Amino acid sequence: MIEIENAHKSFGNLEVLKGINLNVEKGEVVTIIGGSGSGKSTLLTCINGLEPINAGRIRIDGTEVHAKTTDLNKLRQRVGIVFQQWNAFPHLTVLENVMLAPRKVLGLSRDKAEEIAVKQLTHVGLHEKLSVYPNRMSGGQQQRMAIARALAMSPEYMLFDEVTSALDPMLVGEVLDTLKMLAEEGMTMICVTHEMAFARDVSDRVAFFHQGVMAEIGAPDEIFGSPRKPETQEFLGSVR
Amino acid sequence: MLDTALTWNDLLFLGQGAAMTLAVTAVSVAAGTIMGIIFGVIRFQAGPIWSMPLMFFLDIFRSVPLLIQLVLGNALQSIAKLGWPPFTTSCVVLSLYTAAYCTEIVRGGIASVPVTTRRAGRSLGMTWGQDMRYIVAPLATRVSLPAWIGLTLGVMKDSALVLWLGLIELLRASQILVTRLQEPLFILLICGAIYFIISFPIARLGGYLERRWSPHD
């Protein structure tokens, strides 16, 4: 379970998160929607400790993320994240990209890591690209590789940060299908997204962020069907 | 028919000079590169303000002419009663000279690795060291290689200056022969050819590695 309690985060004078409270249960899919600069992506990087928070606390299965005693490298093995930019390791083949962390971080043998990597790459439909270098693939394929790379660590939670925003419109579908598949398999996910149809489809709950505050959260039907807050109404009106 | 007083023994003498040039270059480039990597990582991690003392120190080696460095270095070791032979003094000075340039090459290479790529590595649970070793090092090496090859070739030619400390390297050996045989053009031509023969494989190695890595880009 991910527990976010009164999380505050500032970059210099700019307060990006103004006291976020959110609990995500095991197996739940929560999507976060909202305009640019609403703090959605920042929250994800705070959850796996890539960014420190200024106040409040974030706990993952009871482990406090930002406590000094927490081994973030250990924690991040349980919390996968995929970014807007897929960030392939360009000097490694697709297979090696996915094998690297299981081998070096988990200390698995080459054979075992390869078995896991092939399984995850097959899962996201890239089994024919194993020996290809990432830069020879489309953005959508690279993004699916990034998803497989995160999944190869067998995380219990997955964070997706606008994973389709940098893609050609044609390629968005294949990545969203991959996310849907994961959601159906019961992966606990927090997805920051601008794809409203996707949010409506896969989410157990949808959170609307506005200027660093979680303005509204509820079932997709509530948020998309009958949003209560004027900000939510305005946002949804502008994206439709 | 070529009419020259140059004997096989003289050629052997030139060969020994070339061996000295190679030895000084190899030791200096190896030691300088290791120091350059260490300093470059410190420089990158510490940021411009904290690495200022280090940069000031290295700037001395970048801005003072190498000849002066060698002469001063030799004087210093003599004053400090270190008792270094000319070879050691030459290698120490040239290593620091190489390190000064290599530091910036390494820093530039590390800086060329996108922060987001490194973040992706860290988000998979890699430690700073693992990220440096498996992601930053290979990517930075690709970026830095051409500049490093250039530095190595430069140091090899600059190493001729160690003749001022009395080492008989390739250029000094040629000078000695020129004085004795009075055939400057012919001997310097051979000397230049030997420099070329030494440099060529290094330059080719760079080209070969660049080609080998290029399909990934």
Per-residue pLDDT of chain A (240 residues; tens, 9 = 90+): 999 999 999 998 899 999 999 999 999 999 999 988 888 999 999 998 999 999 999 999 989 999 989 999 999 999 999 998 889 999 999 999 999 999 999 999 999 999 999 999 998 999 999 999 999 999 999 999 999 999 999 999 999 999 998 888 888 888 899 999 999 999 999 999 999 999 998 999 999 999 999 999 999 999 999 899 999 999 998 886
Residues in chain B: 217
Tell me which chain A residues have a C-beta less than 8 angstroms from the C-beta of B120: 83, 87, 89, 146, 149
Residues of A (89-118) whose Cβ lies below 8 Å from B: 89-91, 100-101, 104-105
**For residue B92, how many other CB atoms are within 10 A of its CB?**
20
Tell me which chain A residues have a C-beta less than 8 angstroms from the C-beta of B121: 89, 101
User: Three-state SS for B134?
Assistant: helix
| Per-residue pLDDT, B15 | 92
Tell me which chain A residues have a C-beta less than 8 angstroms from the C-beta of B140: none
The token pair at A219 is 């079932």
Per-residue model confidence as pLDDT tens digits over A22-64: 999 999 999 999 988 888 999 999 998 999 999 999 999 989 9
What's the CA angle centered on B198, arms B196 and B202, to 5 degrees? Answer: 105
Which CATH superfamily, name and number, covers A2-239? Answer: P-loop containing nucleotide triphosphate hydrolases (3.40.50.300)
Q: Which residue has the tokens 């120490």?
A: B92
Q: Which residue has the tokens 């140059």?
A: B6
Main-chain dihedrals φ then ψ at residue B147, nearest 5 degrees: -65, -35
Per-residue pLDDT at B217 exceeds 80: no
* Percent of chain B at pLDDT exceeding 70: 98
Tell me which chain B residues have a C-beta less than 8 angstroms from the C-beta of A73: 122, 125-127
ipTM > 0.95 for the complex: no
Q: Testing the interface with A: which of B122, B123, B130, B133 to mutate, by most A Cβ within 10 A? A: B123
Residues in chain A: 240
The Cα–Cα gap between A58 and B216 comes to 39
Per-residue pLDDT at B1 exceeds 70: no
Chain B: residue whose CA lies nearest to A149: B124
Cβ atoms of A97 and A145 within 8 Å: the answer is yes
* For residues B65-86, average pLDDT: 93
Q: For residue B79, what are the contacts with CB-CB under 8 A and spacing of at least 6?
A: none
Main-chain dihedrals φ then ψ at residue A57, nearest 5 degrees: -150, 150
| Per-residue pLDDT, B216 | 62
B116 and A83 within 8 Å at the Cβ level: the answer is yes
Q: Testing the interface with B: which of A86, A87, A116 to mutate, by most B Cβ within 10 A? A: A87
The Cα–Cα gap between A38 and A193 comes to 12
| Per-residue pLDDT, B7 | 87
A105 and B124 within 8 Å at the Cβ level: the answer is yes
| Per-residue pLDDT, B3 | 75
A50 and B119 within 8 Å at the Cβ level: the answer is yes
Where would I find the H helices in chain A?
A: 40-47, 72-78, 94-104, 110-123, 139-151, 169-184, 196-202, 220, 230-239
Query: Bridge-partner residues for B172, per DSSP?
Result: none
Q: For A133, what's the count of Cα atoms within 13 Å in the CB-facing half-sphere? A: 11
Q: How many separate helices (H) and strands (E) can be counted in chain B?
A: 9, 0
Domains for chain B: give ranges and CATH numbers. 22-167 (1.10.3720.10)
A83 and B125 within 8 Å at the Cβ level: the answer is no
Q: For residue B18, what are the contacts with CB-CB under 8 A and spacing of at least 6?
A: B169, B170, B173, B194, B198
Put simply, whether A76 touches B (Cβ < 8 Å) is yes
Q: How many separate helices (H) and strands (E) can be counted in chain A?
A: 9, 10
Q: How far is CA A111 from CA A103, A121, A177, B68, B100, in A?
A: 10, 15, 29, 57, 43
